[in-house]
Structure 1
Amino acid sequence: MDKFIKDYDKIIKKQHTLETNDPLDRLISVVKEAKEKIQSDPSSVNASLVNLTKSVKTTSSGISEEFKELQSLLSKYSKAVDKTFTGDMMSTLSPHAFDNKEHILRNTIATHFIRQGNFEIGDKFAQARVSSEANITVPDEIRHQFMEMFEIVAALKENNLEPALMWAMRHRSGLEKRTSTLEFKLHRQRFLQLLEAREVRLAIAYAQKNFGHFGNRHTQEIMRLMCSIIYMDHIHTSPYADLVTPNANSDLQHMFTRDFCSLIGLSCESPLYVSCTVGTQAIPTILKVSALMKAKKTEWSQQSELPVEISLTDDVKFHSIFTCPVSKEQASETNPPMMMLCGHVICQESLHKLCRGSTKLKCPYCPTESPASNAKVVHF
């Protein structure tokens, strides 16, 4: 993948070069120079036109070569991708996965557009009629909530904290139930803004007015903020430089988006985005398994689950998963994990099999024997 990334970077670099030094601007510049020369010296019309023709040919030739280089890079990159990724993607598809679920899929896509701030596209997609299927509607409440969220995020990008502060103060109780630090972080950032603007008196007054509510939870942070006033003139090279990191604003935007979605009962990331991310990570493994099964002329034993474990990145893992060390099966609601008195955990079905009609069982991992009735269900 590193080679693909390097080749892609070359294409982007070349494209950026063409954008900054626009070929059309160069041609226009050549024509303008000839026009100005003719206007200033009408007698030089013939000579100027000859020179203009030569300049246009030379410039056009150079532009053509530059575009040939870009086309060559694109062609090589495309061929390398086609050569490397030769798997049949169709083998990973289930043609009946969305049978009788088209309405749910369309609603998910429309909601995704709304969640990304593309309100007009989301509305158009929701209103589009597919065959005999009825139009779908995204609830106005969700639409208005995300409109508010994007307005506040836009203000945060401009270093305007007021809308976010007002929202956080209105929802203080909900944020505190979730142990969120958003409101304090916003007040802290506002204090630092005043400090960097050399408004020391205003910064102290702001701290006195707003930090009191957070005294119990953020005592040490408040003490550091107040001590940072001493280093106001060179805070970036002081022991308090971590308070004014360049990523502070983007971190606030992410924190606000996460807490906003949490309060309205939605995940921070769009379900469609998560699904596509997980699918992308799973495709290489599924392609290998599909090819292996095709060679052995076998099929998956169960349609509702994958035949192999898929390794996922931490950002798309939302629930703890327990696999029984005895049966090698994943725990479920009907087959929950059970902890014996010795502390070892196995699934309920394995527990019953090990009992074999007896009231006691021996742990498969240590010499301890304990009554099966003493095993307790474990919740992850």
Structure 2
Amino acid sequence: MQENQYDQLLKDVERIKKCSLITKQEISKSIDSVLELLVEAKHQINEPMEIEDQEVRRRKIKDSINNLDEKLREKKPLKSVIDSHKKYFQYLSKYGKNIEKIFKSDINNVFKDTLVSFEKECVNEAIAEHLLIEKKFELYENFLKETGLSHKIDKEKQNILKTIQKIFDEFQTNQLNEAIKWAQTKKEELEDLDSPLLFYLHRLQFIQNLQKGKMESIQYARKHFKDFFNQKKFADQAQQVMFYILLENGKIQDHCQLDQSYKQVEELLLDNYCKIYNLTIKSALLQCLIAGTLALPKFLKYTQISSMDEELKDYHNKNEYPIEVEIGKDFKYHSIFVCPISRDVIEPDQNPVWLTCGHVISEASMKKITASANKEKFKCPTCPKEMTARETKKIYF
């Protein structure tokens, strides 16, 4: 950014500060003038009269109020406040436009081709996986054929996703047959997950039957709840379900909170289904897009600041950014630690080191830095903070 542009921004700030001060003074002056008129009107109204007469007093009060109204209209205190505010916001708007004009947000400046290398086939596979997760099966097959990846069509994964699509299509109409059928075939896997899914599905089906007729529900319970009564973790809940038989038909849905139950079971079903088949619920391509969108503003801000800082400009020639970008816990999928200095994955028997500035590096990297420093204190490789080795702490995952 040129020097005269920077000076212009400083002038804009000073103008805004000055205008803000004038606006405050104008508001204070207007309030004081209104208060003076109100006090004057109050004295006129409370002024003692030689002859106490109600009609005369009413006329006096009316005249005082009319006089106050005329003076307020003459002074126009609200107009002066509005005018001063208008001028202040004009300067503020101009300042914002100058900032946008000087600090242009060019996304191309953020991208570093030295940091990321894209393989066309890898990107195409990510797109194909996204189409598969979104259940666009026909589009998925056509895309792989057009990109020359038809040999990678995963028929097994397609069948798995078609099955869950059928289950959830039924769920939209509160039909549970396909879901129960699938859960029964995967009973052992669900037990390994310690999942109550099968019981919850049977409970929902029991309540559905109960709304049609109590005898049908009793027969369903005899057939499917026997095993659950013998399991300690389900025994109490199974007894509670049988209590629903005593409720009147109109109170069953309110007592059971069916809408909420369907939603909870649907979420549990999707989670268990994906765990059993080792599927990801979310598209990797979509997750990358969301993560990039969240991180982009911080990268843009850094790029703009670094263009004015000679020390930060040096990082443009390195394969890293000297900043940490936090995009939320939803985008953390594993607990491994990669040293930002050596780029090595820290083994479980090793421990990274927490520096006093908050940055974390591997112990091996810290030893190299302290050895090359040839003095007691060393500087953090990410920021200019100095510290001693004794001030650092080991982190245990």
For the Cα contact (< 8 Å) 1:228–1:235, is it kept in 2?
Answer: no
Q: Secondary structure at the match of 2:259?
A: coil
For the Cα contact (< 8 Å) 1:111–1:138, is it kept in 2?
Answer: no
The residue type paired with residue 207 of structure 1 is A
Alpha-carbon distance between aligned partners in 2 of 1:152 and 1:221, rounded to the nearest angstrom: 25
Q: Which residue of 262, 274, 289 corresponds with 1:276?
A: 289
Aligned match of 2:143: 125
Q: TM-score under structure 1 normalisation? A: 0.59
> Deviation per CA, 1:57-114, whole angstroms, max 9, x where unpaired?
xxxxxxxxxxxxxxxxxxxxxxxxxx89963222333446664621111011112111
Aligned match of 2:77: none
Alpha-carbon distance between aligned partners in 1 of 2:314 and 2:222, rounded to the nearest angstrom: 69
Alpha-carbon distance between aligned partners in 1 of 2:392 and 2:332, rounded to the nearest angstrom: 28
Alpha-carbon distance between aligned partners in 1 of 2:138 and 2:265, rounded to the nearest angstrom: 27
Superposition deviation, residue 260 in structure 1 = 1.5
Aligned match of 2:127: 109
Q: TM-score under structure 2 normalisation? A: 0.56
For the Cα contact (< 8 Å) 2:201–2:265, is it kept in 1?
Answer: yes
Aligned match of 1:230: 246
Q: Does 1:337 align with 2:355?
A: no
Change (3 A) 1:259 1:94: farther
Alpha-carbon distance between aligned partners in 1 of 2:314 and 2:218, rounded to the nearest angstrom: 70
The residue type paired with residue 141 of structure 2 is D
Alpha-carbon distance between aligned partners in 2 of 1:321 and 1:159, rounded to the nearest angstrom: 42
Number of matched pairs:
269
Q: Does 1:155 align with 2:170?
A: yes
Give the alignment of 1:68-83 within 5 angstroms: none
Alpha-carbon distance between aligned partners in 2 of 1:302 and 1:321, rounded to the nearest angstrom: 27
The residue type paired with residue 327 of structure 2 is L
The residue type paired with residue 217 of structure 2 is A
Aligned match of 1:59: none
Q: Secondary structure at the match of 2:262?
A: helix
Aligned match of 2:219: 205
For the Cα contact (< 8 Å) 1:300–1:307, is it kept in 2?
Answer: yes
Q: Which residue of 332, 339, 360 corresponds with 1:317?
A: 332
Alpha-carbon distance between aligned partners in 1 of 2:151 and 2:308, rounded to the nearest angstrom: 43
Alpha-carbon distance between aligned partners in 1 of 2:237 and 2:326, rounded to the nearest angstrom: 38
The residue type paired with residue 277 of structure 1 is I
Alpha-carbon distance between aligned partners in 2 of 1:307 and 1:323, rounded to the nearest angstrom: 15
Change (3 A) 1:118 1:181: same
Change (3 A) 1:347 1:333: closer
Give the alignment of 1:4-153 within 5 angstroms: 87-95=105-113, 99=117, 101-129=119-147, 137-153=152-168
The residue type paired with residue 316 of structure 1 is F
Q: Does 1:221 align with 2:234?
A: no
RMSD: 4.0
Q: Secondary structure at the match of 2:216?
A: helix
Aligned match of 1:267: 280
Q: Secondary structure at the match of 1:267?
A: coil
Superposition deviation, residue 331 in structure 1 = 9.3
Alpha-carbon distance between aligned partners in 2 of 1:211 and 1:352, rounded to the nearest angstrom: 63
Aligned match of 1:253: 266
Superposition deviation, residue 165 in structure 1 = 0.8
Change (3 A) 1:152 1:302: farther
Q: Secondary structure at the match of 1:247?
A: helix
Bigger Rg, structure 1 or 2: 2
Q: Secondary structure at the match of 1:309?
A: coil
Q: Does 1:293 align with 2:306?
A: yes
The residue type paired with residue 177 of structure 2 is E
Superposition deviation, residue 154 in structure 1 = 0.9
Q: Which structure 1 segments of 5+ residues have no match?
A: 1-82, 340-344, 357-361, 367-374
> Deviation per CA, 1:132-165, whole angstroms, max 9, x where unpaired?
x665632111112111111111112121111111
Alpha-carbon distance between aligned partners in 2 of 1:306 and 1:219, rounded to the nearest angstrom: 57
Alpha-carbon distance between aligned partners in 2 of 1:237 and 1:163, rounded to the nearest angstrom: 23
> Deviation per CA, 1:308-342, whole angstroms, max 9, x where unpaired?
22222333332347799xx9999942484379xxx
Q: Secondary structure at the match of 1:218?
A: helix
For the Cα contact (< 8 Å) 2:346–2:362, is it kept in 1?
Answer: no
The residue type paired with residue 213 of structure 2 is E
For the Cα contact (< 8 Å) 1:322–1:330, is it kept in 2?
Answer: no
Q: Secondary structure at the match of 1:228?
A: helix
For the Cα contact (< 8 Å) 1:194–1:202, is it kept in 2?
Answer: yes
Change (3 A) 1:116 1:364: same
Change (3 A) 1:99 1:346: closer
For the Cα contact (< 8 Å) 1:161–1:186, is it kept in 2?
Answer: yes
For the Cα contact (< 8 Å) 1:172–1:183, is it kept in 2?
Answer: yes
More helix by share: 2
Q: Secondary structure at the match of 2:279?
A: coil
